[in-house]
Structure 1
Amino acid sequence: MVQILLNYSKLDLELLNDIQLVERDQNFLIFQNVSVLWAAAAVDNFQIVKLLVEHGAQVNHTTKTNSTAFRCACWNGNTDMARYLNENGANIHITKIHNETNLIASVYNKQLKMITYLVDELGCDVNESTDDGRPPLYFAVDRGSLELVQFLLNHGARNFRPNDIHMSPLLLAAEKRRIDLVDAISSQCSLLEQIEAQELLGSAFACGEHGICNLEKLFEYFYRALELRSQHNLSKVLRLSTVEVLDNRQECQTIDELEKLRLNDDHMYIEALLVRERLLGPTNAKYHRSLQYRGAALADNAQHHRGVNFWLYELKLHRQYSLSIDIEDLRQWASIFSDMIRKSLSIPIVPWQTVITVILEELENNMIDFDYNLHTLLFLITIISQILSKSIISNNDRQIFYRQIRIIVQHQYVTQTDRSSLLHLSLNNHTSANDYFIDFICKYPCLHTVRLLLQCGADVNAIDVIRNTPLHIFVSNSNVVDDTIIQYLCDAGVHLDCVNALRETPIDIATDSNMKQFLRTRTKISLKCLCARLIQKNTILFHGKISNSLINFVKKH
């Protein structure tokens, strides 16, 4: 069909399109400004590529991300196509944005045959790095291929020093606990680089996120590194100050100091974290993950307060260095606090205040994840409402909690999807975190949360996108006649005759007959409400004829 179209139609082969392709992981990706030649190369159809080139297609056309047909051939590992395109004028040195070379693309996909062609036949530079400093050797380590690492090293690949974002290939191998890769790369590195790799490798054996913890291996590699430092007079550069969560300790400088720690697992874990902070840096994501994992491990071992301290330190580093915060990490705070409530443990006020502050900052600056973070905020409020319902905290802490909730309520946050307020969400039985610990504690509708929000000034008559009040939400999805919740709403000034966008009152949409009857007994229509309903019923124009303070009141009726 392509041949027929090319032979009998006058086609513009450089017409650009946006196309969607399925990647190897089965995800769909959109590629912009692609030519038909690029598309044929991307789907690995060599026959069509030849046809298009023979009919004059531009071989070096670049897409929006500066990708070429030659790069597609490299990505797919099709050396025959790559050789053909090169013979027909392809510029093999065009790199994708961020200086992602064709060699790096081939290394990423572990295409040894293509890599051999690019290096041995075309002379591609094995040390040409991406804009953020990652050479092909880094990607070979990241993909875990000893074969590729050895090939690149044999062709002159160097171990680039780490930068603020990424580790060197040697340190990455150590971080992955790949002893074979560490041994292969070490021969190309300085003594200090080798020592630091031993230290990081040892610390990785203390990190459960990399597999089973092995403190014997940790000790072995730390011991070996300290021996080399002692023999060559290479002392560590220690941090300027100590940190309480890390036991106010500095790293060991001698083997004797390390020996004293050996019998205490906690001390060995702290030693590993100190090493990781020095080698990876306080902004490194892998170091942060180690702090989080250590905190979670302590919580799992019934040491929640110690675990919280590690998480708090990790969060403080985020704020200190203005690092982006993962929404899941914030949600995990609600999870660990819920687990502590479940086990009747006290919630430390400083971590709770810190997390609340961070979430409020995120709500101001991160619109993409706004609703997710707002739900996390609701869960934290519910957790505190559980604490405040019991007399287990001091009056001072109680006042701090109330003051913080009042500040939150004053912001009048609503979801972006349907403009539900915190009060709406707290009365909706569909509100859930899909987290075992949170959902165990935070069950909605929640009496304690409703009471706390109302006590702190939440608008009982707030309306969502279809003008449902919190009471509308409660009665429409609750089959339980909870007179306490309704009494709280009534005491706060709820209008039982407020109508939504469909002109329905809460009584109209109540799903349970007992609920309807219960609401009728509570309904006391004021003269003011009757006037508002009369205005709406008769479609009397009221804008500009009544005070602004009454306009919203009339609209609700």
Structure 2
Amino acid sequence: MPRAARVHVLPASPPSALPSGKQSTRSATPGEQRCARDYSSHHPPPVPLHPARRHFVPRRSLRWRPGPGGEGPAALRAGGSRRPPPVPRRAGAAPPLPAHGLEAAPGAMDLRTAVYNAARDGKLKLLQKLLGSRSREELEALTAGPGGGGGPGAGSTPLLIAARHGHLEVVEYLLDHCGARVEEGGSVSFDGETIEGAPPLWAASAAGHLGVVRSLLDHGASVNQTTLTNSTPLRAACFDGHLEIVRYLVGERGADLEVANRHGHTCLMISCYKGHREIARYLLEKGADVNRRSVKGNTALHDCAESGSLEILQLLLRSKARMEKDGYGMTPLLAASVTGHTNIVEYLIQGGLQQDEAAGGQSGTCASGGSHQRGCSEEGCEGCGASASSQDEVPNVFCTREAAVEALELLGATFVDKKRDLLGAHKYWRRAMELRCEGGKYLPKPEPRQLVLAYDYSRERILGPSHPDTSYYIRYRGAVYADSGNFERCINLWKYALDMQQGNLEPLSPMTASSFLSFAELYSYVLQDRSKGTLATHLGFSDLIGVLSKGVREVERALVHGKDPVADSAQFTKTLAIILHLVFLLEKVECTPEQEHQKRQTIYRLLKCSPRAKNGFTLLHMAVDKDTTTVGRYPVGKFPSLHVVNLLLECGADPDSRDYDNNTPLHVAARNNCPLIMSALMEAGAHMDATNAFKQTAYELLDEKLLTKSTMQPFNYITLQCLAARALDKHKIPYKGFIPEELEAFIELH
């Protein structure tokens, strides 16, 4: 589990089993996003479906769960990846020498490697032999991070790696005799995850080396120094349950309990999520804020409910923790239902219903979070805080009948989707139904706004359409149908989920992009197998054009909402690439003249937005680039694609458009060695002699080894006007102000 920042994207969902191992992605729910070494996630067990079929179950990337470092994966994920630790030859090998000091010395790289590895392996005598006779400047170079001064995230150092592995004698030697910087941060690996900007004290605390922690603090390390994601050494110790280090940092060194990581997740929250009861108890005794809220609005009670620790939950309640809603409107009770922790659900429900019955069914919902409870701070809340007779007694938690019904219904849905336990789900749904009708007072249930075949409405009704779990499990249920060969039902559910995402999520959300990718992969699979005669599923023009139109709408939304294509270049590029794959698939479907017109109208809408991908690529640049082929883990369309290029040109794409390096689509096609596409571009008016920022023409970029130059006749497309423009540029003849403005742009093209 990652030690890093909980990224708001969803954990890996159960794999299903379609023949190419297909799996899509989705973003994380609030519960999974809180703890990977800054947050951890819940991983549902695998789906035991037919092994001969291909995976269509959406993959849930790690949710926003900060680990002690707060450096968790991003979407996952979203689509990003952590930079791996510097390991030239084997795990923990030394980073390169700094750009000063020993840079020019023979064997300097080997010396630095030897010093680093000796520190990592705790070989003090070897380290003394390597460093004993060195000058101060050389010692500084050998013990610093790459680039001399190093700096957070620049790479590892001998002191950092020695602290990570608990080599106390090596740590003290580097500090006392080599002048190593006690607070110099770098990259360090825990459980396969790289933490960036971690100081030696953080690494020693995370690994549980109390002696090293003492030594570093004695040598002047700051007890509250953080990683790049604002994770403290105290948080690192809390993550893995190092109680002695927690006591030492707080009790003897005065570490700040309330320093949260970049997601607002505190030491108490991570202790609760990881189930470290004694650490949670100690932090509460030292005054940790039990009702502190993270950026997403969750409290320690939410983390406790998600982890399933009933003892810690009772401890928090005794400390006057309030049952509040998080940013998604979820109470700890619902959080326990979503994660399937029946012990937490039963405890909160039974205590609440007993109190409700004693009060004659009059208990209500307080404004602080959906249920009265001891310690509620709401003014005028008469029911809260009156049911505990002593400090050691766990207070009763007030829970309304409606809240209990919803928790049981949601728990049943969890048993179906996560545990695949239909009997268990039936048991909880039956209890919910009986409770809803109890005492002849029926609790009304709102009707769904839209009836979707084979869709359980409970999760959407209780969690709301904006909750990540809602759309994810609709997609998951559709994927199960796809695994069983019922593609039409899958497509209907996925369309419903996509509409929900576009109506509730911000543009370019990784979850929405994941849905588009799932459609592209599914459609590719269906069209491929139907052409072989192995599938009877009908996939028509309306299916493809509907998703393509929604993709164009996503681009329009992003531009209207002021999304910065540069700042969001990776996600924007991925979205455009998926759209091009849908266009590629659409070309495989027969169309009537009216449908052909509708297709071109949709593509024209997209071109009119003038979207720019990474490096300033237009859609035409992407259509002639082989890198566009890879959008997920499985192939959909193949690029460069002549069919897509011709369609874009017919719909008005500019054949002479430029990227940030002044490359035209013709330059990109030349690099990809596509003579047929180059001919199509030149027939559409592209200039073969147009130069890029490096004064190269497309013809000059063609691969001579593949002899494609022999098939090209560039002079057939070069006019006298082109030659004149190049002559002006070559001989630096001034022309601005002497010729019409429209001709100036033409000359600049060359």
Bigger Cα displacement from structure 2, 160-169 vs 351-360: 160-169
Shift of 1:3: 7.1
Q: Is the 8 A contact 2:412 2:426 kept in 1?
A: yes
Q: Flag the 1:281–1:548 CA change in 2: closer, same or farther, 3 A.
A: same
Alignment partner, residue 395 of structure 1: 593
Show the 5 A alignment for 1:155-554: 155=318, 160-165=323-328, 167-189=330-352, 190=399, 192=401, 193-207=403-417, 210-212=418-420, 214-233=421-440, 235-239=442-446, 242-244=449-451, 246=452, 266=454, 270=455, 273-323=456-506, 325-326=509-510, 327-342=513-528, 343=530, 345-348=539-542, 349-362=545-558, 365-367=563-565, 368-384=567-583, 386-388=585-587, 392-417=590-615, 419-435=616-632, 439-440=635-636, 442-478=637-673, 482=676, 485-511=677-703, 514-520=707-713, 523-554=716-747
Q: Which runs of 5+ in 2 are unaligned?
A: 1-169, 353-398, 531-537
Alignment partner, residue 140 of structure 1: 304
Shift of 1:475: 3.2
- Aligned residue for 1:187, secondary structure, equals helix
Bigger Cα displacement from structure 2, 45-54 vs 283-292: 45-54
RMSD of aligned Cα (Å): 4.0
Question: Which has the larger share of helix?
Answer: 1
Question: How big is each residue's C-alpha offset from its partner over 1:486-536, in whole Å with a ceiling of 9 and x where there is no partner?
Answer: 443233112233333444433333225653122127724322122123223
- Aligned residue for 2:254, secondary structure, equals coil
Alignment partner, residue 258 of structure 1: none
Distance 1:352 1:156 in 2: 53
Distance 1:478 1:61 in 2: 53
**Structure 2: which amino acid aligns with 1:335?**
E
Distance 1:414 1:128 in 2: 42
**Structure 2: which amino acid aligns with 1:182?**
V
Shift of 1:302: 4.0
Distance 1:18 1:313 in 2: 47
Shift of 1:455: 0.3
Q: Is the 8 A contact 1:330 1:355 kept in 2?
A: yes
Question: How big is each residue's C-alpha offset from its partner over 1:456-502, in whole Å with a ceiling of 9 and x where there is no partner?
Answer: 111112233443332232233236x53xx444323311223333344
Shift of 1:356: 1.6
1:26 correspondence with 2:221? no
Distance 1:320 1:304 in 2: 24
**Structure 2: which amino acid aligns with 1:174?**
S
Distance 1:86 1:307 in 2: 54
- Aligned residue for 1:188, secondary structure, equals helix
Q: Flag the 1:306–1:397 CA change in 2: closer, same or farther, 3 A.
A: farther
Shift of 1:289: 0.8
Alignment partner, residue 106 of structure 1: 271
Question: How big is each residue's C-alpha offset from its partner over 1:186-219, in whole Å with a ceiling of 9 and x where there is no partner?
Answer: 3333362433222111112332xx243x433332
TM-score with structure 2 setting the length: 0.60
Shift of 1:345: 1.4
- Aligned residue for 2:655, secondary structure, equals coil
Shift of 1:51: 5.6
- Aligned residue for 1:27, secondary structure, equals strand
Q: Is the 8 A contact 1:382 1:449 kept in 2?
A: no
Q: Flag the 1:216–1:240 CA change in 2: closer, same or farther, 3 A.
A: closer
Shift of 1:226: 0.8
Distance 2:575 2:506 in 1: 20
Question: How big is each residue's C-alpha offset from its partner over 1:209-237, in whole Å with a ceiling of 9 and x where there is no partner?
Answer: x243x433332221121112222345344
Shift of 1:30: 3.0
Q: Is the 8 A contact 1:371 1:416 kept in 2?
A: yes
Question: How big is each residue's C-alpha offset from its partner over 1:273-298, in whole Å with a ceiling of 9 and x where there is no partner?
Answer: 32112221221111121122223333
Distance 2:727 2:213 in 1: 74
Shift of 1:426: 1.3
Q: Is the 8 A contact 2:197 2:227 kept in 1?
A: no
- Aligned residue for 2:614, secondary structure, equals coil
Q: Flag the 1:236–1:335 CA change in 2: closer, same or farther, 3 A.
A: farther
Q: Flag the 1:28–1:428 CA change in 2: closer, same or farther, 3 A.
A: same
Same amino acid, percent of matched pairs: 27
Select which of 283, 286, 293 maps to 1:118: 283
Alignment partner, residue 45 of structure 2: none
Distance 1:139 1:218 in 2: 24
Higher relative contact order (CA 8 A, sep 6+): 2
Bigger Cα displacement from structure 2, 426-435 vs 527-536: 426-435
Alignment partner, residue 253 of structure 1: none
Q: Flag the 1:188–1:128 CA change in 2: closer, same or farther, 3 A.
A: farther
Q: Is the 8 A contact 2:687 2:717 kept in 1?
A: no
Alignment partner, residue 71 of structure 2: none
Distance 1:523 1:10 in 2: 70
Matched residue pairs, number?
A: 516
Question: How big is each residue's C-alpha offset from its partner over 1:63-116, in whole Å with a ceiling of 9 and x where there is no partner?
Answer: 998876655554453433443455447276545367644332322333333234
Alignment partner, residue 61 of structure 2: none
Distance 2:575 2:256 in 1: 49
Bigger Cα displacement from structure 2, 427-436 vs 524-533: 427-436
**Structure 2: which amino acid aligns with 1:80?**
E
Q: Is the 8 A contact 1:475 1:515 kept in 2?
A: no
**Structure 2: which amino acid aligns with 1:509?**
L
Q: Flag the 1:204–1:22 CA change in 2: closer, same or farther, 3 A.
A: same
Q: Flag the 1:307–1:87 CA change in 2: closer, same or farther, 3 A.
A: closer
Shift of 1:129: 5.0
Shift of 1:172: 2.1
